[in-house]
Every structure is written in structure tokens, then in C-alpha cells.
Amino acid sequence: MPDHAAADALAADLTAALGLQLAEADADLEARFPGDLGGRQPVHTVYIRADQITPDIVGEWGSRAQAHLADHREILAELLTAQESDPESLLDLVEEKLAREPIEDLRIDLEDGYGNHPDREDDDARAAARALATAQQHGTTAPFHGIRFKSFEAPTRARGVRTLALFVGELLDAGGSLESFVTTLPKVTSIDQVEAMVGACTRMEQAWGLPARTLRFEIQVETPQSVLGPDGTSLVARMIHAGDRRVTGLHYGTYDYSAFCGIAAAHQAMDHPVADMAKLVMQAAAAGTGVRLSDGSTNILPVGDEDQIRRGWSTQLRLVRRSLERGYYQGWDLHPAQLPSRYAATFAFYRGGFADAARRLDNYLHDKGGAVMDEPATARALADFVVRGIESGALRSGEVVDACGVEHAALVTLARPRRETS
């Protein structure tokens, strides 16, 4: 007979020894790769220049988007027929979204979209901060919001940090909140710039008596130096971990990045090979860290005559779908006319895949078997797909419960497990 007692003793000794040997590695893993940090990820970020910001800017964009859709609905319906059996019903959902929540993430732009206006940038930054505070108080702002200021490169450093300090100070003075506020650090070329941003955030928190890590930021990847450093390593991975747990996202900058790579203007796009390479590196660097990835934008706008509108919407429908299929769940929008196609593409993606995802989840959660043998990893992916569909407005909680036999909260727990950090 085997000596179970001896085996038990050996296993206990080995477990204790391995615990000591791997304690540092365990702690490092927990600190660096905590898993999904929870909460909703917006499907897009909308950049609007600071001198156009009003307390009602979100509603104004929604009204313009609704009017554009109403005027050209048949074009978008026609474009959707290839992937959607009932485009009219889907567009009804889009109309509802545009009326209820036209912008999910608003970024007040004081960088490239704003330009160089040294004579009035202070005033524009303060006015935009007051407008945001008013919108927060009246419930008219986007669920997520923040600013993009000029980079920490030497020529724009002083202007960028001044704008950041002025905006945050004015927002707080006006009774605004930093709860859903995030800043965008653009054109990052070194780990030193990320560390400098951490230091700037810390100083501002101390100056205004804010809790540590109140100020969070995204890293905008617009230069090849961020993806591939001079030593041949991926700097973007190290940037995340240099961010003191303040980094919330990596945003790909389509046109700056392409231009740095020498791509001709006519061929600069989200689906160019240089873009794919950069985003694959960013995706791998962010995996497990809690930092989220955003694709870039298309500058082909659905405005003008019918052919131009068709081209713009067709381009965005294709590119948004492509991004979603590759796990890039967020992108940029630049114009109100892009909002109908953003939501149409997003809703078509989630509604088109819902029946299969629900069936597989139901089989997995209730041990029914089925034609696909799902395991915990695929179950998490299925749950995340459905949760994102609910959060975007593509799916209703009631239809999810009916199809999967499980409540939204349980799906969130399954979709986004988080490694506890010390």
C-alpha cells in the first residue's frame, strides 16, 4: 500500500518551500498584472476642441447626429443590410442611443485639434473647465470625460503642464468632480515622460488636498519610439508599469503614427500594416494590467453629397467592425455624423453574435453540453462579449437573462475576474 502520510508530508513541505521561493514573484505578478479593474469601457472617445465646449455640448452633438441620421437613414440602412437582417430595428436602437447618450467619453482637446493659441489658451482652458463643472452638476456631460493637453516634449512642455494645472484647478474651484475624469498624455516618446506625468499628478494632488491617484491618465501612442525603443524593446510595456497604477488606457494615434513611419497621406488608415503592428504590441503590453486599449480614428467623414456620405459611413462601419473583431473595443470619433455609424457598427457586432454567445453561455453555466466544448477561458470571453453588449446599449438586460438564464451582475463577475492586490 502507498504511504499516504509520507506523500502528504512531502507535499506540505514542498508547498511551504515554494511559497517562500515564489513569494516575490507572486507579489510582482499581483502588482503588475491585477487583471481587469472592472467597470465599463466606453466604445469611443470624442475629441472636441476646448473653445467649442459648452455645458450642453454632448446634447448638441447628439441633436446633430440625430438630424444627420434622419436625413440619410436610407443610406445607412442600405449599408447595414449585408450584415444585419433587420437594419431598421437596429437603427431604431441607434436613434435611442443618440437621444439618450450620444457621447460615451468626451475629451476636451487642447492639443492638435485645438492648435496653437498662446494668447487665449488660458482663458479657453478655464472656460471649458467651468462648462464641464456645470455639465456635471446638471447631469448633461458624458459618462466619461477629461482633457488632452500638449505633450511633455521640450517645445510644448511648459504649455501642456500649465494648461493641465489651470484646467484641474478651475474645475475644482467651480465645484466639479474628478470621479470620471481622465487626462490624455499625447505623443509619448520615453518612459521618462510617463514618470514625469506621475510626478506632476502627485504634486497637483498634494496642492489641492486630493487623495493619492485621483488623477489618472491615458498614454497616446503616436510615435514608433513608444512601440520600439532604441534598445529594441517595447517601451509601451514599460510605460504602463512606470505609471504608478494611474494609467487607464493606451490610445493609438492613427495619423501621427503613420506619418512618423513615412506612410503617404492617402494610405494612412487604421487598417494599414504599420497600425496593425503597433496595436498588436500595445494589446500584448496591456493584457492583464487593467489598462485598456483604444483604436484610432478615420478622417473620412460622412458629410457632403450622398456619395461622400455613403463612403464615410461605409468606411467607418468596416473599420469599427474590424477593430471589434480584433479586440479593440474603443476608438475615436471626430464629427457628429460619425456617431450613427459608430453605434450601428457596434450594435450590429454585438447583436449579430448574441444568439450564439448566449447559447454557449447557457450550455456552459448550466452544464448542458453542446457542439462547442467551452472551458473557463472561453466562458469568460463569452460573458465579456455579452456584458459589453449590454453596456453599449446593443443588448437589453432582460433579453440576456431570458437567453442565458443568468443576471447581468453574475456575468460581470465571470467576465472580469480580478487578481487581488496587496
Model confidence over 275-303: pLDDT tens digits? 999 999 999 999 999 999 999 999 999 99
pLDDT number for residue 418: 64
What would the mean pLDDT of 189-216 be, rounded to a whole number? 96
Same domain, 283 and 397: no
What does the longest C-alpha to C-alpha distance in the chain come to? 89
Tens digits of per-residue pLDDT, 132-183? 999 999 999 999 999 999 999 999 999 999 999 999 999 999 999 999 999 9
State the alpha helices, DSSP H only, in 273-396. Answer: 273-286, 306-325, 338-365, 376-392
297 neighbors 107 (Cβ within 8 angstroms): no
Residue 407 domain boundaries: 355-415
Q: What is the DSSP string of 38-77?
A: -S---SEEEEEEGGG--TTHHHHHHHHHHHHHHHHHHHHH
Answer whether residue 370 shows pLDDT above 80.
Answer: no
pLDDT number for residue 85: 77
Domain boundary pick from 318, 333, 352: 352
Q: Report the number of distinct structural domains present in the chain.
A: 2
The structure's pTM equals: 0.92
pLDDT number for residue 421: 42
Same domain, 330 and 368: no
Q: Is 29 a member of any domain?
A: no
> Where does the pLDDT of residue 2 fall: very low under 50, low under 70, confident under 90, or very high at 90 and above?
low
Please give the Cα distance from 302 to 61 (Å, whole number): 15
Answer whether residue 419 shows pLDDT above 60.
Answer: no
pLDDT number for residue 319: 97
pLDDT number for residue 422: 37
pLDDT number for residue 84: 77
The number of angstroms, rounded, from the C-alpha of 225 to the middle of its chain's C-alpha atoms is 22
Domain boundary pick from 352, 368, 387: 352
Same domain, 153 and 283: yes
Domain boundary pick from 335, 352, 369: 352
Residue 174 sits in a domain whose CATH number is 3.20.20.60
Please give the Cα distance from 337 to 188 (Å, whole number): 30
Q: Is 7 a member of any domain?
A: no
Q: Is 373 a member of any domain?
A: yes
Tens digits of per-residue pLDDT, 249-279? 999 999 999 999 999 999 999 999 999 999 9
> Where does the pLDDT of residue 30 fall: very low under 50, low under 70, confident under 90, or very high at 90 and above?
confident
Same domain, 302 and 385: no
What would the mean pLDDT of 340-355 be, rounded to a whole number? 96
Same domain, 174 and 263: yes
Same domain, 286 and 387: no
